[in-house]
Structure 1
Amino acid sequence: MAHRAFMRMLELEFDELGPTRVVGSVAADERHHQPWGVVHGGLYTTAIESFATMGAVEAVKDRGLRAVGISNHTDFVRPHRSGRLEVVATPVHQGSSQQLWQVELRRPDDHKLIARGQVRLQNVPAERE
């Protein structure tokens, strides 16, 4: 599936995947730099939406639903040049029709916050394959 290839390309790793917490990491290095030599914010936004979506889907899949992002707000807190970043996603709200997840990306060595985001997701019927 194309979405899995995209996640592999970004080197997203999921160490814990559940309906109330998703933990993992994302690669961040010179391949992801903007012209000024720091990681492009689009990488953070993509990781934030990916981790929130994975958790949201886990929360509703047993009800024959999936979750799709409808809003992504990402704050870039400090620049980062290179090294994997820890990612932790947790739900703020899990309702019958929508979910709201918060996600943080931190450096593993000093735990400084690099970016944080909030993703609103709509719970929709799962497509039949």
Structure 2
Amino acid sequence: MQVYGVRMSTQDDEVIESEFMRATGLVMTEITATKVTGYAELGPRQHQPHGIVHGGVYCAIIETVASTGAFTAVADQGKVVVGVHNATDFLRAVSEARATVVGEPLFQGRTQQLWQVVITNDANSKELARGQVRLAVIDRPS
């Protein structure tokens, strides 16, 4: 399976990509059940009217990273995950940056997972945003 252009091992070979996710600038470079890392190229195409990166971009990146890691943890059990809560804090505004993205689980249970994701500006190592995503673990729809 490919998730946003990154190959993952599952029972089928579907491709999950969208123009929306490409617009976030997210590239995941490592995907495991306990850590997802990558980077995002942030710039004018993600701006809100005041010339800074839109907060929704950070929310989408954080939910995508958390969901990808959580799914990786349960895929071999015939399960999938769905986000049920996303709490993202916007810490610093930028108009352009290459940002490192790191997601790790805080809790991985049988019916739910909680992931924390941090987005850091590569230029100065300062956090731009951080968030927690709670995901329900459900049976894979048939």
**TM tier relative to shorter chain:** over 0.9
Aligned to 2:64: 50
Structure 2 unpaired stretches of 5+: 1-13
CA shift for structure 1 position 20: 0.2
Matched, 1:19 2:36: no
Tell me, what secondary structure is at the counterpart of 2:69? helix
Count matched residues.
128
Q: Partner of 2:9 in structure 1? A: none
Aligned residue number for residue 17 of structure 2? 4
Q: Deviations over 1:80-113 (max 9, x none)?
A: 1102211000000000000000000001122100
For the 8 Å contact 2:97–2:123, the answer to whether it is kept is no
Structure 1 runs of 4+ with >4 Å offset: none
Q: Who is 1:118 aligned against?
A: 132
Give TM-score scaled by structure 2 length. 0.85
Identical residues among aligned pairs (%): 42
C-alpha separation between the residues in 2 aligned to 1:3 and 1:62?
18
What's the secondary structure of 1:106's corresponding residue? Answer: strand
Q: 2:115 aligns with which of 94, 101, 115?
A: 101
Q: Which amino acid aligns with 1:4?
A: E
Say if 2:102 and 2:119, in contact at 8 Å, map to a contact too.
Answer: yes
Q: In the alignment, is the contact (CA less than 8 A) between 2:23 and 2:46 conserved in 1?
A: no
Residue number in structure 2 paired with 1:84: 98
TM-score normalized by structure 1? 0.93
The higher relative CO (CA closer than 8 Å, separation ≥ 6) is in 1
SS in 2 for 1:120: strand
Cα displacement (A) at 1:9: 3.2
Q: 1:24-43 to 2 correspondence within 5 Å?
A: 24-43=38-57
